[in-house]
Amino acid sequence: MQLKSIHIENPLILAPLAGYTDLPFRLLCREYGANLCYTEMISCHGLVYDKTMTMQMTRTVKEEKPVALQLFGADPAKMGEAAEIVSGMNIDIIDINMGCPVKKVIKKGAGAALMKNPKLAAAIIGEVCRRTEKPVTIKIRTGWNHDAIVAPEFARMAEDNGASGVAVHGRTWSQGFAGPVDWLTIARVKKNVTIPVIGNGDIGTYQEAMDARARYGCDGIMIGRAALGNPWIFSPEGPPVTLKGRRDGLMHHLELIQKYCHPDKMLARIKNQAGRYFKGIAGGSFIRRQIYNAMDFAEILDLANAL
Ligand SMILES: Cc1cc2nc3c(=O)[nH]c(=O)nc-3n(C[C@H](O)[C@H](O)[C@H](O)COP(=O)(O)O)c2cc1C
């Protein structure tokens, strides 16, 4: 898959997941086969006003190339300014969030609300493309609701305004994260544009990703929730079936957290991630409970070491 100057081999992609796709998790998924990883969504205002928390979210290292940084916002000028700021960073692709259904984002006219306002969306894409040399992609849904499935025209509009790729979550805003994924609309998007199309929604295994790519003609497949506690989803072998295999995966994730973060400042996030490694394993719920009860990072490490 070619996104402007960036070539992506075997396009299995880690979706942006707020609260999860931080630097350690992206590095982990890359090691297991994700060839492009997305940051969590990052506010254009936070970037323009140089907010410490926002700046921390932009952190990357040279080992994780290519990486896509996702921006959200509804003001073309501010989005352009933010694009210029992140263009000076060690990132490869700028993605624009046009699919987030969360109320506080929608209320400001950003995320999926932009699918109801293609004029504003076009202005944002145009301004971001004008302020950066990097490839710009958008991430959208199929539409606002079932009466407004606009993704094929919307994707064409994005291409006309300079976008180099489009990722489509095959659900409407009104569906949230449940209900059937509309892969046929994703296939229609692919037919309506010449830029690469990335399909997304409910992929649960490596094989499902390969099948969806072949069946619906997508250039890439993006995986979100099924990668949590399961970075093996990006490799053909899939997750290990033994407790030790899962433990080793978790240990590696914890090592990366220790190397790049301040673990005790993000304990809730770590517990949430760590517990997921034992899904479907005998005794998994007992391990998860122990992890949730841990007082600090050292205790989580001890627990994992003892497994
Ligand atoms: C906890 C959570 C956080 C998410 N954060 C983002 C985000 O920051 N940006 C975005 O474009 N989509 C976000 N999404 C949507 C996912 O990227 C993806 O489109 C969706 O989960 C469907 O894919 P999946 O079925 O493989 O999870 C989020 C989804 C979840 C569940």
- Angle among Cα 39, 69, 231 to the nearest 5 degrees reads 30
Ligand 1 in contact with 41 (CB < 6 A)? yes
Residues whose CB is less than 8 angstroms from the CB of residue 61 and which lie 6 or more positions away in sequence, other chains included: 23, 27, 90, 260
pLDDT tens for 130-189 read 999 999 999 999 999 999 999 999 999 999 999 999 999 999 999 999 999 999 999 999
The Cβ of residue 123 has, within 10 Å, a number of other Cβ atoms equal to 18
Q: For a substitution probing ligand 1, which of 12, 13, 17 has the most ligand atoms within 8 Å of its CB? A: 17
Task: Tell me, in angstroms, the distance from the centre of ligand 1 to residue 155's CA.
Answer: 19
* DSSP letters for 136-150: EEEEEEEESSTT-B-
Give me 121's structure tokens: 């969306």
Which atom of ligand 1 is nearest to 171's Cα? 22
How wide is the angle at C-alpha 292 spanned by C-alphas 288 and 293, nearest 5°? Answer: 120
Q: What is the pLDDT of residues 87-115, one digit of tens each?
A: 999 999 999 999 999 999 999 999 999 99
Ligand 1 centroid–CA 40 distance in Å is 9
Q: Is 100 near ligand 1, meaning CB less than 6 Å away?
A: yes
- 141 C-beta closer than 6 A to ligand 1: no
Rounded Cα distance between 72 and 54, Å, is 12
pLDDT of residue 122: 98
pLDDT of res. 10: 85
CB 142 within 8 A of CB 185: yes
Provide the sign of the torsion angle of the four alpha carbons 223, 102, 120, 108, taken in this order.
negative
Element (H, E) at 249: helix 243-260
Question: Is the minimum distance from the CB of 143 to ligand 1 under 6 angstroms?
Answer: no
Q: Report, as residue numbers or ranges, the catalytic residues.
A: 100
pLDDT along the chain (307 residues), means of 10: 94 96 98 97 96 94 96 98 97 98 97 97 98 98 96 98 98 97 98 98 98 97 98 97 95 97 94 95 94 96 95
